[in-house]
Amino acid sequence: MNPSRQPNDPDDAARPADVPETDAEAEAPSGAGTAADPSEETTDDAPRRFDSIVRFMRWMVLLVVVFTGLLLFRSQVLDGYQVPTHSMEPTLHGHPRDGDKVLVFKKSFWLRDPERWDIAVFRREGARHASQVFVKRITGLPGETFELVDGDVYVDGHIARKPDDVERELLIPVWESRGNERGFADAWEAAGETGPGWNKIDGSFVIPPGDGGVFEYARPITDSFVDDDGVWKPGPNAVGDLVLVLAVTPTSEEGTVVVSVGRGSRAFDIALPVSEGRPTISSLGTDAVLDTVEPLQPGRRYRLRVTHVDHRLRVALDGRDLYTFAYEPTPALDEPDSGGSASFGIVGGGGRIHSVRLLRDIYYTADGEVAVDGPILIPNGPADRDQRYFVLGDNSAKSRDSRFWGGDVYQATVSREDLIGSPVAVFWPPSRARRLR
């Protein structure tokens, strides 16, 4: 911006024609003060005007520096991207107009190597538009033998188990009691000769003392997915990896809280006695006794979480891990086409069930051409372009990812130099704003 044009110097101004030149000083009118010397006024105002111009220019330079710094920061460190499709549901909601807006840290894969289960934003060779940006989850690393089997990721012949935070992030609700109490009878049915005696009192389910009751989930559990209209639809594949969460209070001095989860012929039966005895976990005719765990106490509320995911059983009580057992699958016992089973209840006593949640693990479908009919070797070379990553969408049935990007493994995978960065947070809309792993 140019400063305004300054007034003419008083010495350059034309004098009025009727004022005679004289060496004598004109007499001032009576009562009037002495007239100010124009040169003195100029001497006082000029520095102030100059200082104002200098301050203005300094502010302009500062604004330019700040604006340039923000542009560099946005282009090199952090940037925002919108998720346009449903391929990462339910982790990231996608829509062309109101999909999640994520904040991406562009230096994440400069500071460390990409890891399995990282969410990555990247460009891809061979994409329809060179500027097109994708967001998927990294599941295969350079140099690994990679395969999808029965919905799970296998690396070098063994299942790739998820860390706790990733496992929880990828769980999908199947059924929960909150807001769905009336639908209990449609989803759960009495097992064997146990029950009846199931009552709803004050928002919780009550099993009267003496009756007991064990209930099995009666609906098929499949790889449901979000379709192009944003609606959950049932999938064709049976899912066996389940998590059952209960909040329970025993009300009798005796009895046993029982929970069972399984898949195919392999089931894990957990028994937690009340007042006396030690918890046991039974499977395939073998019992494990938890000698260090005290029996449940009547009148106390407990939170029990049983997780059977990625061929690993974990039992936790009130946030404390009680038991972990990992195993290699056996085709004769772990039939891939048989869905998971879940049941819970109280035997030989009474109690109150405050809440029930049943969740399932993500299921990677065998759609596409790559890594679905046998193992592949992910390329790995000294250059960033030759270090390749296999990526998948969380909403597997509606994701176009490394399974589909050409029959050639090199084309199907993503090079390290094409990785832009990792999303660190969803910042819009506010209702879905949260930090990402």
| Residue 345, domain CATH | 2.60.120.560
* 207 and 302 co-located in one domain: yes
Closest C-alpha to 244, from 276, 212, 210, 221: 221
Q: CA 146, 151, 157, 158 torsion: positive or negative?
A: positive
Are 145 and 189 found together in one domain? no
Residues 147, 179, single domain; the answer is no
The pLDDT of residue 200 is: 67
Q: What is the largest CA-CA distance in the chain?
A: 131
Beta pairing partners, 151 = none
Residue 84: asked if its preceding bond is cis (omega within 30°), the reply is no
Statement to judge: residues 319 and 386 lie in one domain:
no
Co-location of 403 and 276 in the same domain? no
Look at residue 311 in the predicted model and tell me its pLDDT.
Answer: 93
Asked if 154 and 336 touch (Cβ cutoff 8 Å), the reply is no
CA distance 217 to 334: 19
Last residue within a domain, chosen from 331, 360, 389 = 360
Of 288, 292, 315, which Cα lies nearest the Cα of 303?
315
Domain that holds residue 372: 79-159+368-435
H/E stretch holding 388: strand 388-392
Q: In what order do the strands lie in the sheet with 152-155?
A: 158-159, 152-155, 145-149, 376-377
Q: Which helix (H) or strand (E) holds 193?
A: none
**Positions of the chain with pLDDT under 50:** 1-41, 196
pLDDT of residue 5: 38
d(CA 132, CA 85): 13
Do 210 and 279 sit in the same domain of this protein? yes
Cis peptide before 336 (omega within 30 of 0): no
Cβ pair 101, 428 in contact under 8 A: yes
CATH assignment at residue 128: 2.10.109.10
Do 202 and 340 belong to one domain?
Answer: yes
Confidence at residue 165, expressed as pLDDT on a 0 to 100 scale: 93
Which whole-number Å values give the CA distances from 25 to 14, 18, 19, 36, 394, in the listed order? 20, 16, 13, 14, 96
Can you give the pLDDT at residue 32? 43
Mark whether 223 and 146 lie in a shared domain. Answer: no
Which of 326, 360, 394 delimits the end of a domain? 360
Count of structural domains, the chain = 2
**Predicted local distance difference test score (pLDDT) of residue 360:** 96
62-73 per-position pLDDT tens digit? 777 666 655 555
Distance separating alpha carbons of residues 48 and 148, to the nearest angstrom: 76
| Matching residue, tokens 């046991």 | 280
Q: 319 and 284: one domain?
A: yes
**Using CA atoms, how far apart are residues 51 and 284, in angstroms rounded to an integer?**
89
Q: Are residues 226 and 353 in the same domain?
A: yes
Q: For residues 104 and 74, is the Cβ–Cβ distance under 8 A?
A: no
Model pLDDT, residue 9: 38
Domain boundary among 333, 360, 387: 360
